């Protein structure tokens, strides 16, 4: 009895009865495919299939199964399946949805290896969906630079704002030039600087909340007009409402958020700092603040995020030193 098990058969449409060749993945899954579709997609396959494969023509080396030549490939079935689906016409297979960074990169590498140029472009685009970008912005940026996709490059750069200015090492950093990395660093800093304008000009707050009565949670004033026992700021750093100083915890929130935004100039920074501020207020057990701060702060956080995103959208990634493919 043989120790290795029989190769399994790939699912539809790679089990087609009229297929004319079998590609065997590295993990022993047999894909019954049509030479024509693959030959049309890539000159590599065209050449490969032109080589004599049937046992009548020659070679006893070529394994035959169900009367079809078996060609072993180095990709595993998880990579081969989406790659082949991309090569097939939409009547037989829909383009697969790739939602994991590693999967996309594996398929991308295989597409390159087999000179599947159109597939390479299509697969590359699937990297730039929010789910993948959120967790892999720097890697996506590097790949977009390398594959010369300008729009995707700018999109990925926007997501890199979730990372600190000096990121930890990532494998794909080797793909980009120092000019491209510098471009990204300058963009990051420009975004961080642009946001600081919100600290000096507070009109974005008073335009939204015209009177202190609109922000009882910020000034610690109860509905009866008296103040709660929470400490109020004495620094005058955020002079929003005449005669009403803001609560000290809110001033601390603003200070630390603007500091954090220098490192990560993005909405997520604000979201996290808002929740932290709410937590700290709750811990103080002030009856007034515990009731009004969570709602008030979350609304304020939304306003803050909108303003930040508005400013960041005006900052452009300066790509003029990068040579793009025509």
Please give the residue ranges that form the binding site for Zn ion (CB under 5 A). 220, 228, 230, 286, 288-289
CB of 247 to Zn ion, least distance (A): 7
Nearer to Zn ion, 261 or 289 (CB): 289
Q: What DSSP character marks residue 10?
A: P
User: Phi and psi of 232, rounded to 5°?
Assistant: -105, 155
CB of 217 to Zn ion, least distance (A): 9
Reported as type and span, the H/E element at residue 215 is none
CB of 121 to Zn ion, least distance (A): 57
CA distance 258 to 270: 9
User: Phi and psi of 34, rounded to 5°?
Assistant: -95, 125
Nearer to Zn ion, 222 or 262 (CB): 222
3-state secondary structure of 197: helix
CB of 270 to Zn ion, least distance (A): 22
3-state secondary structure of 31: strand
CA distance 103 to 135: 14
The answer to whether residues 120 and 112 touch, using CB atoms and an 8 Å cutoff, is yes
Residues making up the chain, counted from first to last? 326
CA distance 281 to 272: 14
Nearer to Zn ion, 69 or 220 (CB): 220
CB of 228 to Zn ion, least distance (A): 3
CA distance 194 to 66: 66
Nearer to Zn ion, 199 or 232 (CB): 232
Nearer to Zn ion, 225 or 326 (CB): 225
252, 253, 247, 245: which is closest to 230 by C-alpha?
247
CA distance 195 to 315: 10
Nearer to Zn ion, 164 or 295 (CB): 295
Nearer to Zn ion, 14 or 217 (CB): 217
Nearer to Zn ion, 125 or 229 (CB): 229
CB of 149 to Zn ion, least distance (A): 51
What token pair was written down for 132? 């993948």
CA distance 194 to 267: 14
User: Phi and psi of 13, rounded to 5°?
Assistant: -90, 15
CB of 99 to Zn ion, least distance (A): 45
CB of 227 to Zn ion, least distance (A): 8
CA distance 212 to 272: 25
């Amino acid at each position: 009895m043989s120790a290795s098990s029989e190769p399994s058969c790939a699912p539809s449409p790679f089990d087609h009865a009229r297929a004319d060749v079998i590609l065997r993945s590295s993990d022993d899954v047999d894909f019954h495919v049509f030479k024509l579709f693959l030959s049309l997609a890539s000159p590599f396959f065209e050449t490969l299939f032109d080589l004599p494969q049937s046992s009548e023509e020659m070679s006893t080396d070529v394994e035959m199964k169900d009367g079809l030549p078996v060609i072993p490939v180095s990709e595993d079935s998880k990579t081969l399946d989406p790659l082949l689906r991309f090569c097939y016409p939409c009547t037989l297979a829909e383009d697969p949805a790739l939602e994991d960074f590693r999967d996309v990169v594996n398929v991308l590498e295989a597409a390159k290896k087999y000179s599947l140029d159109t597939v390479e472009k299509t697969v590359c685009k699937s990297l730039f969906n929010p789910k993948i970008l959120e967790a892999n912005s720097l890697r996506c940026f590097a790949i977009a630079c390398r594959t010369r996709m300008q729009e995707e490059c700018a999109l990925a750069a926007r997501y890199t704002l979730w990372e600190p200015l000096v990121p930890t090492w990532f494998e794909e950093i080797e793909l980009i030039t120092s000019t491209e990395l510098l471009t990204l660093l300058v963009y990051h800093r420009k975004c961080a600087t642009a946001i600081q304008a919100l600290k000096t000009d507070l009109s974005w707050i008073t335009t939204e909340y015209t009177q202190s009565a609109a922000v009882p949670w910020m000034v610690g004033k109860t509905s009866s007009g008296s103040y709660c026992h929470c400490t109020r700021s004495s620094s005058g750093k955020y002079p929003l409402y005449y005669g009403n100083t803001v609560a000290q915890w809110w001033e601390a929130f603003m200070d630390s958020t603007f500091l954090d935004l220098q490192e990560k100039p993005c909405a997520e920074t604000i979201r996290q700092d808002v929740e932290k501020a709410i937590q700290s207020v709750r811990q103080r057990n002030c009856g007034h603040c515990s009731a009004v701060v969570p709602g008030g702060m979350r609304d304020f956080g939304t306003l803050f995020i909108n303003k930040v995103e508005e400013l960041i959208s005006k900052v452009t990634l300066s790509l003029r030193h990068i040579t793009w493919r025509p």
